[in-house]
Amino acid sequence: MALAKKRIIIIGGGIIGLGTAIKLGRKFPNVEIVVLEKEPDVARHQSGNNSGVLHAGLYYKPGSIKARLAVSGIQEMIAFCQENNIRHEICGKLVVAVDPTEVERLHNLFDRGTKNGLKGMRLLKRKQMLEIEPHVAGVEAVHVPQEGIVDYVEVAHVMLKKIQEAGGQVVTRAKVIKLDQKSNGWLVETENPNAPPVISNTWEADYIVNCGGLHCDRVAELAGEKRDVRIVPFRGEYYKIKPERQNLVRNLIYPVPDPQFPFLGVHFTRLIEGGVEAGPNAVLALSREGYTWSKINVVDLWDALSFSGLWRFMAKHKRMSWDEIRRSFSKELFAQALQRLVPDIREADLAPGGAGVRAQAMSPEGELLQDFCLVERPRALHVLNAPSPGATASLAIGGEIAAYVSKNFAQ
């Protein structure tokens, strides 16, 4: 393979693939940067179906890659929004201990945030909480002033434009179906999954970066990796608060997360485009791209059900898994979960909303990987776990990847 110009191929046009393309383009101005995305547009999956929150790094284990990249990531993301006139707002977030049993965990969270370097957080008693969110329940809260809201689809489209302006390519309708490693690079085979007859293409690459999100473990397998750790898709469903009741929530209201459970618990989020959402819950999706219960993919379902990790996970979290399923089918139960945070909210205030599917990596022991997971191989790097706050941290993750690549790749 003798390309005139060296080429790095990024598989996946979600926000992390795009953030990576921007950072690699800056680091390697003489290298051709190509993003291959199977959908007709970028940000069609996790990056386009999330809560739109700019997370500051409150929750993550001090010293973890996640904590480090969330803290630097939010600053980079805000700067990117400012430079490119992307609508965003730093509105602050309230994390609420609804009863005295949650206060110790709330304080632990505050300590965690402090260790992660968050500035300006405050522990609030009930009277002060009500000044920020007049309808909130609870006995104590942490206020995180630097968090905010944005539309990550808008961010992704600006990223796409930046990549193109810098001379990179983002090729849509290009699903990577085969990766062949050669002595000095890769042959990357793609097909257009949406167009009969299928249009195929073969690309040469000196280096590949796998940002395949919900399919990252499968893309890694195409490159010869074992799938010991597997992606398990957890759907998060939302309701919209009816316009006449949106006054119940000013900004962002979150519960104290359960330390046994990796997701944050249903919360209230004001959207940058207007409106307020409640959710997301977390239920096993019956397809990697299963945005509703009726979307079932037999291959994906078998993949999940034949994975010992999932059974171990469900055995460990029986009660929680069952409660989440019941809440998914019962608006009344969903409303009850929300009433812990905002007692005045009623079932009738909730209108159907959208859903997102989280690409959550799980070990064969049934543990959910908490940290971001980047795996380096000769001429390849795989992003094998990048859940929330992956969107906030996407540029920082891209920077981290560019730093890894530059150790092993000369332009």
Ligand X SMILES: Cc1cc2nc3c(=O)[nH]c(=O)nc-3n(C[C@H](O)[C@H](O)[C@H](O)COP(=O)(O)OP(=O)(O)OC[C@H]3O[C@@H](n4cnc5c(N)ncnc54)[C@H](O)[C@@H]3O)c2cc1C
Interface residue list for ligand X (CB under 6 A): 11-17, 36-39, 43-47, 49-53, 55, 175-176, 211-215, 219, 236, 280, 356-358, 386-392
Single-letter amino acid, residue 302: W
- CB nearer to ligand X: give 11 or 141: 11
Cβ(155)–Cβ(359) under 8 Å?
no
- Tokens 């191989």, residue located: 377
- CB nearer to ligand X: give 77 or 335: 77
- CB nearer to ligand X: give 43 or 163: 43
**SS3 readout for 38-92:** CCCCCCCCHHHCCCCEECCCCCCCCCCHHHHHHHHHHHHHHHHHHHCCCCEECCC
CB neighbours of residue 332 within 10 Å? 12
DSSP string computed for 368-402: BP-S-EEEEETTEEEEEE--TTTTTTHHHHHHHHH
- CB nearer to ligand X: give 21 or 141: 21
- CB nearer to ligand X: give 17 or 399: 17
Closest separation between CB of residue 103 and ligand X, Å?
25
Closest separation between CB of residue 283 and ligand X, Å?
11
Give yes or no for a cis peptide into 280 (omega within 30° of 0). yes
For residues 354 and 124, what is the distance between their CA atoms, to the nearest angstrom?
32
Number of continuous H segments (helices) and E segments (strands) in the chain: 11, 21
For residues 123 and 110, what is the distance between their CA atoms, to the nearest angstrom?
8
- CB nearer to ligand X: give 15 or 335: 15
Closest separation between CB of residue 78 and ligand X, Å?
12
- CB nearer to ligand X: give 47 or 116: 47
Give the 3-state secondary structure of residue 333. Answer: helix
Can you state the percent helix, strand and coil of the chain, rounding each to 5?
A: 35, 25, 40
For residues 73 and 55, what is the distance between their CA atoms, to the nearest angstrom?
9
- CB nearer to ligand X: give 38 or 240: 38
Closest separation between CB of residue 215 and ligand X, Å?
4
